[in-house]
Amino acid sequence: MASREFDIIIFGATGYTGRYVIEELTHSTKSTNIKWAVAGRNVEKLKESLNIVQEYLYDEIDISKTTIIKADVNDASSISDMCKRARLILNVVGPYKFYGEVVVKACIENGTHHVDISGEFQFLESIQANYFNAAREKGVYIVEACGFDSIPADCGISFLKKKFPGDLNSVEYFVEIGQGPSGRSTNIGTFVSAVHSVGDLFRGKEFDDALKKEVFKKDLVQSNYPLSRGFLPLFYSGEVKGWCYWFLGPDERVLKRSQKFRYEYLNDRPVQSNGYIRMHSFFIALCYAFFVTLFGFMSLFSFGRYLLTKYPSFFTAGAFSTEGPTRQQVMEGTTKIVLFGKGWKDKLSEPTDQHTAEPDTQMKLTITGPEPAYPFTAMCMVQAGLTIIEETDKLPLE
């Protein structure tokens, strides 16, 4: 890629997540020659975001002279102009279902890499189906779901596979989100994206067919020892010693697409996976089950979606709000992900070869990090972007 004015532009730096992306990118590039800027539709709010992050940084690093670029998803030419100035866009503008495609399209047209943190089914799968070949022809990487959904689980599986003595067959992972004395809250942006994604859960076959036509021509090889999970979504796990619920989100399909990609294009043996969220008590687990049921039902109807997005704090008992979390709440938050891998001590030569005995080897991996929605997500996103521009020669495909 030819030299550009900036290596990275953070698009959508005015929101809660955008500010943590600014902070993470600042720390990650302070000893490098990486040139970056911020972009969005409101210049004054971008200045405000830089000022807020400057307070987080104290006098450690001065970001007051950071270049500000005006770009609006409703003005395609401004998005194109932004993309022409950078090697990579960190796109934090959601919901991606409504605002994401115009940025992806402009990135491909202008030869610019793109990283997002979407967890929205339709956007994730339709973008891959519709733009995979065009991006490949241009030598552009469009990398989706680079936040808490779904970097930790995906990287965890890859790490287990790398360290496993033989063939890794399956991984079950358990997510535990912790909070400090100040409690926990999340900005409405994530909630709104989820509200508008529930209906897409019923379009799985449609997405699968489109991906099979354009991206994944081969059927994924099935193991003789399939990974299963119980009939009830709520259960007690002896492995993590707590009540757990099926992890509802994009991870399952994202991880499966990663395995399809590795199988089809890298000739890797696919790994099965199931994810769960560990609750702090049985009572909280029951409350979570009630909320998920109510949320899922209301999200299927336009009036229900209106109520959920109009009164997020009421329907989530304060878990989501228009005000979002305080800095202290975010800094006190924690994330823990425990992955249990099962497989064999022996490695077969081809990914289609089948083992004839049950898995005989296990491995455990624990990942810990900060609060998931903001600093952890920002960390995942920024490191994904830096990997693309600094280690392009090590990435798959041309």
d(CA 20, CA 49): 10
Sheet architecture: strand order including 113-116: 68-70, 36-40, 6-11, 86-91, 113-116, 142-143
Total residues belonging to the chain? 398
**Model pLDDT, residue 398:** 64
d(CA 310, CA 305): 8
d(CA 25, CA 211): 33
Q: What is 6-147+377-391's CATH topology?
A: Rossmann fold (3.40.50)
Contact call for residues 34 and 8 (beta carbons, < 8 A) = yes
Structure tokens at 228: 């299963």
d(CA 256, CA 276): 16
**Model pLDDT, residue 317:** 84
**Model pLDDT, residue 85:** 98
Return the domain boundaries, the chain.
6-147+377-391, 150-371
C-alpha to C-alpha distances, 297 to 99, 232, 248, 344, nearest whole angstrom = 25, 19, 14, 42
pLDDT in tens, the chain (398 residues): 568 999 999 999 998 999 999 999 999 999 899 999 999 999 999 999 999 999 999 888 999 999 999 999 999 999 999 999 999 999 999 999 999 999 999 999 999 999 999 999 999 999 999 999 999 999 999 999 999 989 999 999 999 999 999 999 999 999 999 999 999 888 888 888 989 898 888 889 999 999 999 999 999 999 999 999 888 899 999 999 999 999 988 899 999 999 999 999 999 999 999 999 999 999 999 998 899 999 999 999 999 999 999 999 898 888 888 888 999 999 999 999 999 999 999 999 999 999 999 999 999 999 999 999 999 999 999 999 999 999 999 998 86
In our burial notation (b when 16+ CB lie closer than 10 A, e otherwise), range 365-392 reads: bebebbbbbbbbbbbbbbbbbbebbeee
Q: What is the pTM of this model?
A: 0.94
**Model pLDDT, residue 131:** 98
Cis peptide before 95 (omega within 30 of 0): yes
In our burial notation (b when 16+ CB lie closer than 10 A, e otherwise), range 37-50 reads: bbbbbeeeebeebb
Contact call for residues 149 and 177 (beta carbons, < 8 A) = no
The three-state (H, E, C) secondary structure of 56-80, written as one string: HHCCCCCCCCCCEEECCCCCHHHHH
**Model pLDDT, residue 372:** 96
Best CA proximity match to 216, nearest among 249, 272, 262: 262
Task: For the beta carbon of residue 347, count every other beta carbon within 10 angstroms.
Answer: 14
**Model pLDDT, residue 165:** 96
